[in-house]
Amino acid sequence: MIYGLQAALSLTYAWIKAGHIIFVMFWIAGLFMLPRYYIYHQESAPGSAEEKKWIERERKLRSIILTPAMILVWIFGLMMMWTIQAWTMHWFQLKFLLVLGLSAYHGWMIGYGRKLARGERPVSGRALRLMNEIPGLAVVLIVVLVIVRPF
């Protein structure tokens, strides 16, 4: 009986982990795309029909993919954190700081999209290109932490 319960719980855990990784992929894919859209957006003439298309594409990417994916990654991640009491592990503590940073980056990018939609363009294309490297770097560090667990 206990054996059966344990088997059921670990199967559930495996499904939660699968969900976590699936939505990590959607989230990160969206984070790779959004600043790219902003770069193309800023190359269009202010007020043009092309700019309006970019505003709409950005809005859809944010509301259909990025934000729901981030929320699901957090929900599944926190469920696993709770189950394995991950906060006691050093690799997880650093991972947690990195995912907080990535979520802040996400929030900043959402805010920047709202500014663009209002016709403001406060950041240069070059700076956006540099910022576009941040999610890639975060993925490298996070995956090494969760898979290699160096400490």
Residues that bind ligand HEM (CB under 6 A): 17, 20-21, 24, 28, 73-74, 77-78, 80-81, 84, 86, 99, 102, 139, 142-143, 146
Return the closest-CA partner of residue 115 out of 30, 58, 50, 33: 58
CB of 50 to ligand HEM, least distance (A): 33
User: What's the rounded Cα separation, in Å, for the pair 12 and 20?
Assistant: 12
- Residue nearest to ligand HEM according to CB distances in the complex: 77
* Residue appearing with tokens 């898979």: 147
Give the residue with the Cβ less far from ligand HEM, 71 or 127: 71
Give the DSSP letter string of 74-115: HHHHHHHHHHHTGGGSHHHHHHHHHHHHHHHHHHHHHHHHHH
Give the residue with the Cβ less far from ligand HEM, 20 or 62: 20
Return the closest-CA partner of residue 17 out of 87, 75, 96: 75
Give the residue with the Cβ less far from ligand HEM, 130 or 146: 146
CB of 132 to ligand HEM, least distance (A): 16
* Residue appearing with tokens 């997880």: 92
CB of 99 to ligand HEM, least distance (A): 4
CB of 100 to ligand HEM, least distance (A): 8
